[in-house]
Amino acid sequence: MLRKGIALAALGLAFLAAPALANTNALPPKEAHWSDSGPFGKFDQAQLQRGYKVYREVCSACHSMNLMYFRNLGQPGGPFYEEKYKNPNDNPYVKSIAKDYQVDDIDSETGDVVKRAATSADAFPAPFPNEAAARASNGGALPPDLSVIIKAREEGQEYVYSILTGFGAAPPAGLKIEAGKYYNPYFPGGVIGMTPPLAADKVTFDDGTKSTVDQQAKDVVAFLTWASDPKAQERKQFGLGAMIYLLIFSGLLYASYRRIWRNVAH
Amino acid sequence: MSGHSTYEPKSGFERWLDERLPILRWSADHMMSFPTPKNLNYWWTFGAILAMCLGVQIVTGIILAMHYVPHESLAFNSVERIMRDVNYGWLIRYLHANGASMFFIAVYIHMFRGLYYGSYKAPREVLWILGCIIFFLMIATAFMGYVLPWGQMSFHGAVVITNLIGSLPIIGKPVTTWLWGGFAVGGATLNRFFSLHYLLPFMIAGVVGLHIWALHVPGNNNPTGVNVKSKEDTVPFHPYYTVKDGFAMSVFLIMFAVFVFYFPNVLGHADNYVPANPLVTPAHIVPEWYLLPFYAILRAVPDKLIGVLLMFGAIAALFILPWLDTSRVRSMRYRPTAKLYFMIFVLACIVLGFCGAHPPDQQVINGFATFQLLDSDLNTWVWLSRIGTLYYFAFFFFILPLLGLTETPLPTPESISEPVLSNSANAPAGAAASPEKRG
């Protein structure tokens, strides 16, 4: 009873920690279901692959993912993980994805800056060399890095999904939308610098999934969720073992406690 | 209770060592045979839980420090690298981050327990003050630890808190410059906060040693607040309390594990996954949940300096508590009026926590129109935090001193064993069903 009370109090405190977002004047994000949610949730690998394709063909034109390496795509839980290739550097699919990119390197003979094909050990190349270049190409707005975007927003999955599918409504009277800006009611302030990125059939899914805006948004959010916390699935599996262990251990300790104290009035 | 020793060396080596360094005798006397009141309830297990929390923080912290880089342009990525590339780095880092919250949950319960059962009263004043020092060091350590990931909340939290110190007269400015290592929060600040964050836990461990020393001179208080009278009142610490504390620690770990494995970021703030940017200020700068009541007290008054003094005063009041409470009865179990005021005090602390999480000018009850009182509308968090702050200080400086002189306490039992025996004779079945309620 006491423990339960403490746990409840702690959960209550958890809600405290997230301050009210009421005055950001954005709509609350849309509800959606995610296959990875809950203690037993798992990513759908086909969805992660589709999501990566959306990122690669659409988002990566403006958004970097500086914390991601090509090898991450082939690690356990990743979009292109295969049991056969425990070491993601051996994964032929990962290698072929990396090979399509050119990255800077130094020629060890001459010291000149040269271009070479990327390997699985390389980071995802950023679309712009620096912040100024990114702003110059985007009407002054800075496209945020997407490496941990889902962790970096309250209700990250719903928020990003709502932003991606939230274009198209007419702005409320009195809200002036300048050229190069767009109305999106889910974005704080309602005016966003991002061009509506998704369109039906803009990305062709290799597995034959119908390429709607909603599907593309859900898939890329699944991919970004995985990328924001690539060890989440491992964590939950580990957690199950830990919980079972702790429950049994607590039971044994309680039995010992009752036995040791049985002759003491207290 | 110190002085007596029941240790008998069992082997030649133990005898040899006992004559040179009686470390085994010391351990046996303090950790095995130490006479402990037999009526301690589950609220008394939080001491052991806190020792465990400190151990977890130090062990995980040392491992994190092997991978962390205290540099303004590398810190954020090094923390993410721990989560992504270090073997079980996600586990170590989430244990450490959530461990801080668990530490504070446990310490607040431990402190409320001490308050309720009068554990600060003579002869335990030094024990209580050492506990207050530990609490203050914990706050400093937790604050500096939160700065280390160098996210948005880290950076702007550091700016807000260090600026508070700057508002103190005379010493404010030089101390702030010294904390910053320059003229603004930056790389030098991060580096010295890392150094201090590594130092303070070992200072805490040292004060914990003193805390336990001070505990073992008078011995434990107990739920009746009545002194131990005879050997009948006590049981040896081992195995009776090692097993009881062990069980409580294990149950506490279950709650800890729920956060670490299933809600690792729920106690943190999403903004701290955005790398620090001095040019962009987050919409609401809030500290971690465990500092919110003090943050609410700080913001309750319009004047910054008075706010800072009140905030530190809220902690300082704890230090002088043993001399504020005039009642000769330790346990509030026998002080019905004090019990009521204590419950309101706990409620006030929780309400202050909620106040700290909300913008001061936001309405508490949405859409409920009230009137303007002085600088703000009555239905705002700032007025609620003023009420909470008033009660917080009134409890220490008005209620506790006066109540001890005016109230009529219930009769206290002759000895620890007396209520224990009558209790088990009256309702053995009910008592067994909820052991934590028992004396």
pLDDT tens figures, A161-208: 999 999 988 898 888 888 889 999 999 989 999 999 999 999 999 999
What pLDDT, on a 0 to 100 scale, did the predictor assign at position A20?
39
Pure H helices in B125-219:
125-147, 152-166, 172-180, 187-216
A-interface mutation test, from B79, B82, B224, B244, most A Cβ less than 10 A away: B244
- Interface touch A151/B243, C-beta < 8 Å: no
Question: Which whole number is the average pLDDT over A97-123?
Answer: 95
Asked if B228 contacts B81 with a C-beta cutoff of 8 angstroms, the reply is no
Count the neighbouring beta carbons within 10 Å of the beta carbon of residue A30: 15
Distance (Å, whole) CA B244 – CA B48: 10
A52 contacts: CB under 8 Å, gap ≥ 6 = A73, A79, A223
- Please tell me which of the candidates A66, A242, A254 has its beta carbon nearest to residue B257: A242
From first CA to last CA, the distance across chain B in angstroms is: 22
Number of H helices, E strands in chain B: 17, 4
- Selected residue with higher pLDDT from A16 and A65: A65
B-interface mutation test, from A2, A224, A237, A249, most B Cβ less than 10 A away: A2
Using 50, 70 and 90 to split pLDDT, how confident is the model at B420? low
Answer whether residue B424 shows pLDDT above 70: no
Asked if A156 contacts A150 with a C-beta cutoff of 8 angstroms, the reply is yes
Count the neighbouring beta carbons within 10 Å of the beta carbon of residue B340: 11
Domains identified in chain A, total number: 1
Nearest-neighbour CA in chain A from B203: distance (Å): 27
Count the neighbouring beta carbons within 10 Å of the beta carbon of residue B235: 21
**Three-state DSSP state, B183:** coil
Answer whether residue A1 shows pLDDT above 50: no
Chain A residue whose CA is closest to B89:
A231
Contacts of B252 in chain A (CB under 8 A): 3
Answer whether residue A16 shows pLDDT above 50: no
What pLDDT, on a 0 to 100 scale, did the predictor assign at position A195?
93
- Please tell me which of the candidates B243, B357, B439 has its beta carbon nearest to residue A16: B357
**CA-to-CA dists, residue B44 to A179, B38, B335, B436, angstroms:** 66, 11, 20, 10
A245 in contact with B, Cβ within 8 Å: no
Within a domain: A190: yes
Chain A residue whose CA is closest to B38:
A266
Count the neighbouring beta carbons within 10 Å of the beta carbon of residue B70: 19
Pure H helices in B21-88:
23-27, 46-67, 75-84
φ/ψ region of B308 (left if φ > 0, alpha if ψ in -120 to 50, else beta) reads alpha
A-interface mutation test, from B56, B76, B80, most A Cβ less than 10 A away: B80
- Please tell me which of the candidates A235, A254, A266 has its beta carbon nearest to residue B247: A254
Closest-CA residue to B96 (of B313, B264, B298): B264
- Interface touch A14/B263, C-beta < 8 Å: yes
What pLDDT, on a 0 to 100 scale, did the predictor assign at position B123?
95
Within a domain: A96: no
Using 50, 70 and 90 to split pLDDT, how confident is the model at A3? very low
Nearest-neighbour CA in chain B from A129: distance (Å): 17
Contacts of A154 in chain B (CB under 8 A): 270
Within a domain: A208: yes
What pLDDT, on a 0 to 100 scale, did the predictor assign at position B423?
57
Closest-CA residue to B105 (of B432, B353, B414): B353
Counting one residue from chain A and one from chain B, the pairs whose CB atoms sit within 8 A come to 149
Q: What is the pLDDT of residues B135-184, one digit of tens each?
A: 999 999 999 999 999 999 999 999 999 999 898 889 999 999 999 999 99
Answer whether residue A9 shows pLDDT above 70: no
A17 in contact with B, Cβ within 8 Å: yes
Using 50, 70 and 90 to split pLDDT, how confident is the model at A21? very low
Using 50, 70 and 90 to split pLDDT, how confident is the model at A24? low
Closest-CA residue to B49 (of A21, A194, A51, A2): A2
Within a domain: A222: yes
Using 50, 70 and 90 to split pLDDT, how confident is the model at A14? very low
What pLDDT, on a 0 to 100 scale, did the predictor assign at position B422?
62
Answer whether residue B25 shows pLDDT above 90: yes
A-interface mutation test, from B73, B228, B243, most A Cβ less than 10 A away: B243
A23 in contact with B, Cβ within 8 Å: yes
Chain B residue whose CA is closest to A17:
B289
Answer whether residue B24 shows pLDDT above 70: yes
A29 in contact with B, Cβ within 8 Å: no
What pLDDT, on a 0 to 100 scale, did the predictor assign at position B429?
42
Bond prior to B401 in cis (omega within 30° of 0): no
CATH no., domain B34-279 = 1.20.810.10
Instruction: Give the tokens for residue B148.
Output: 């280390």
Using 50, 70 and 90 to split pLDDT, how confident is the model at B363? confident
Using 50, 70 and 90 to split pLDDT, how confident is the model at A256? very high
- Please tell me which of the candidates A67, A234, A257 has its beta carbon nearest to residue B247: A257
Q: What percent of chain B shows pLDDT beyond 70?
A: 95
Contacts of B428 in chain A (CB under 8 A): none
- Interface touch B357/A66, C-beta < 8 Å: no
- Please tell me which of the candidates B91, B243, B270 has its beta carbon nearest to residue A253: B243
- Interface touch B274/A23, C-beta < 8 Å: no
What pLDDT, on a 0 to 100 scale, did the predictor assign at position B432?
42
What pLDDT, on a 0 to 100 scale, did the predictor assign at position B433?
41
Give residue A223's identity as a one-letter amino acid code.
F
- Interface touch B353/A13, C-beta < 8 Å: yes
Answer whether residue B323 shows pLDDT above 70: yes
Q: What percent of chain A shows pLDDT beyond 70?
A: 91
- Interface touch B84/A256, C-beta < 8 Å: no
Contacts of A19 in chain B (CB under 8 A): 284, 286, 357-359
Using 50, 70 and 90 to split pLDDT, how confident is the model at A82? very high
* Annotated domain spans of chain B: 34-279, 286-411
Q: What is the CA radius of gyration of chain B?
A: 24
Using 50, 70 and 90 to split pLDDT, how confident is the model at B428? very low
Give residue B26's identity as a one-letter amino acid code.
W
Bond prior to B123 in cis (omega within 30° of 0): yes
B24 contacts: CB under 8 Å, gap ≥ 6 = B7, B9, B14, B17, B18
Query: Which structural domain, as residue segments, surrounds residue A130?
Result: 40-68+124-230
Give residue B220's identity as a one-letter amino acid code.
N
Question: Which whole number is the average pLDDT over A36-41?
Answer: 89
Distance (Å, whole) CA A47 – CA A35: 10
Q: What percent of chain B shows pLDDT beyond 90?
A: 85
φ/ψ region of A208 (left if φ > 0, alpha if ψ in -120 to 50, else beta) reads left
Question: What DSSP string runs through A156-193?
Answer: HHHHHHHHHH---SPPPTT----TT-EE-TTSTTSEES
Distance (Å, whole) CA B71 – CA B73: 6
A131 in contact with B, Cβ within 8 Å: no
**Long-range contacts formed by B434-437: CB under 8 A, 24+ apart:** B434/A1, B435/B41, B435/B42, B436/A1, B436/A2, B436/B41, B436/B42, B436/B43, B437/B41
- Interface touch A266/B254, C-beta < 8 Å: no
Q: What is the pLDDT of residues A113-163, one digit of tens each?
A: 999 999 999 999 999 999 999 999 998 999 999 999 999 999 999 999 999
- Please tell me which of the candidates B253, B268, B438 has its beta carbon nearest to residue A17: B268
Which run of H or E residues covers position A257? helix A232-260
CATH no., domain B286-411 = 1.10.287.980
Q: What is the pLDDT of residues B36-51, one digit of tens each?
A: 999 999 999 999 999 9
Task: Please name every residue paired with A102 in a beta bridge, in sequence order, or none if there are none.
Answer: A117
Contacts of B81 in chain A (CB under 8 A): 67
What pLDDT, on a 0 to 100 scale, did the predictor assign at position B284?
87
Within a domain: A149: yes
Q: What is the pLDDT of residues B208-226, one digit of tens each?
A: 999 999 999 999 999 999 9
Handedness of CA B115, B116, B122, B127 (dihedral sign): negative
Phi/psi of residue A99, nearest 5 degrees: -60, -25
- Interface touch B261/A72, C-beta < 8 Å: no
- Interface touch A13/B39, C-beta < 8 Å: no
Handedness of CA B417, B423, B424, B429 (dihedral sign): negative
Residue A62 sits in a domain whose CATH number is 1.10.760.10
Within a domain: A33: no
Within a domain: A226: yes
Nearest-neighbour CA in chain A from B4: distance (Å): 23
- Interface touch B254/A246, C-beta < 8 Å: yes
Mean pLDDT of chain B: 92
Q: What is the ipTM of this complex?
A: 0.89
Angle of helix B187-216 versus helix B172-180 axis, rounded to 10: 110
What pLDDT, on a 0 to 100 scale, did the predictor assign at position B421?
63
Count the neighbouring beta carbons within 10 Å of the beta carbon of residue B53: 24
B-interface mutation test, from A6, A8, A13, most B Cβ less than 10 A away: A13
What pLDDT, on a 0 to 100 scale, did the predictor assign at position B201?
98
